[in-house]
Amino acid sequence: MSELIEIRKVYKRYGRKSVLRGVNLSVGAGEVVVLLGANGAGKTTLLRTVSGLSKPDRGEIQLGGASFSTAGYELRRYIGLVSHTSLLYDNLSAPENLNFFARLYDMQAPAERIEWTLQAVDLWRRRRDLVRTYSRGMVQRLAIARAILHNPPVLLLDEPDTGLDQESAEMLHQLIRKLGADERAILLTTHNLERALAWADRVCLLVDGRIVFSEKTANLTGDELRRQYREAGRPA
C-alpha cells in the first residue's frame, strides 16, 4: 500500500504549550485511519497541520511524497477538509456554495459533479433552500459534500459525525467506506469509539500530542479499544 499521508516527527507549539510532540503517522491509499483522543489531545491541530493551514514547528508532512514547501499551493488541490465549522456560506444555497468552491478549484463544467455530490449526501431535494435554513446535520452533510467535491485523494475529517443523526451517520459511514475503497487516504477524528471501530481500518490514540497506541481494527475488539482509551487517559 503506497503512503499518501506521511507525518514524520511533527512538533507544534502554541505559545508555551506543546500541542504535538513528535507525531509519526502514515496513511496509505485506500486506508481509513481514525484518530482518537480526549479534548486537547492535539487531533484538530494535527489535521490543520496536515492540511497546510498550520505549519509544523519541526518535522515533515508529505502528501503523496510532496510537501507544501516543494509543491506550493497546487498541493491543496489534493486535500478535502471537514472542519469543526462548516466552511460554508449561510446566504447561499447548496449548489451556489459548491459552485463557488468548484470555481476556486478550477473545475470545468461542474454542474454534473455538484448534482452527484448533493445526491450522495441526500441534499439534492433541498438544493433551492439557503444553507441558513438547514438543520445542523444537513449543514454537516453539505460540509462533507464540499470536501469531496473536487475528488481529493486525501480526506481530512475532523469529527464529521458531530450533529448527525443515526441515519446520517450511517450514510456517512457508507460514504467513507466507498471513498476509502477508491484509493483515497482518509484521516478522521471522532470521540465515538464504536464508530471508530466500524469506520476505520486502523485506530490511533493521541494523548498529549503523542500517538501512544496504533492498531488495525481487525485485531481489536470494542472492549480492548475502550481499555486502551481508558488507560491512555490515566495520569502516568
Partner 1 sequence: MNNRVQEMNEDLVMPGEVAAAPETVRNAGPAAPSPSVQMRTNGGLGAYMRKVRAITRKELQAEWRAKEVFSTMTIFGILAVLVFGMAFDLRVPKSDMVAPGVLWVVLLFAGVLGLNRSFGAEVDRGSLPALLLAPMDRSAIYFGKMIANLIFMLAMLALVLPTILIIFDVNMIKTWILVALLLGVLGYVAVGTLFAAMTASVRARESMLPILLLPLMVPIFVAGVALTAAVVDGRTLGDFWRWLGVLSAYDLIFVTIAFIVFDMIWQES
State the chain's maximal CA–CA distance in angstroms. Answer: 56
C-alpha–C-alpha distance, residues 26 and 7, integer Å: 6
- Select from 36-44, 167-175, 193-201, 217-225 the region that touches partner 1 (CB under 8 A): 167-175
Query: Cell 463544467 belongs to which residue?
Result: 109
Cα–Cα nearest to 48, from 70, 71, 68, 72: 68
What is the smallest separation between the CB atom of 152 and partner 1, expressed in angstroms?
Answer: 7
Tell which positions 19-48 bind partner 1, by CB under 8 A: 29
Cα–Cα nearest to 33, from 181, 196, 171: 196
In this structure, what are the phi and psi dihedrals at residue 196, rounded to the nearest 5 degrees? -60, -45
Q: Which is nearer to partner 1, 29 or 198 (CB)?
A: 29
Compute the residue count for the chain.
236
Q: Which is nearer to partner 1, 60 or 66 (CB)?
A: 66
Side chain identity at 53, as an amino acid letter?
A: L
What is the smallest separation between the CB atom of 133 and partner 1, expressed in angstroms?
Answer: 12
Q: Which is nearer to partner 1, 75 or 232 (CB)?
A: 75
What is the smallest separation between the CB atom of 204 and partner 1, expressed in angstroms?
Answer: 21
Residue 150 binds partner 1 (CB under 8 A): yes
C-alpha–C-alpha distance, residues 174 and 181, integer Å: 10
Tell which positions 174-203 bind partner 1, by CB under 8 A: 174-175, 178-179, 182-184
Find the binder of partner 1 among 9, 40, 58, 84 (CB under 8 A): 84
C-alpha dist (Å) from residue 117 to 75, 110, 142, 159, 180: 22, 10, 9, 20, 16
- The CA-to-CA distance between both ends of the chain, in Å, stands at 35
What is the smallest separation between the CB atom of 162 and partner 1, expressed in angstroms?
Answer: 13
Residue 124 binds partner 1 (CB under 8 A): no
Q: Which is nearer to partner 1, 136 or 227 (CB)?
A: 136
Binding site for partner 1 (CB under 8 A): 2, 4, 29, 51-55, 62-66, 71, 73-79, 81, 83-92, 96, 100-101, 103-110, 112-113, 116, 119-120, 130, 146, 148, 150-153, 171, 174-175, 178-179, 182-184
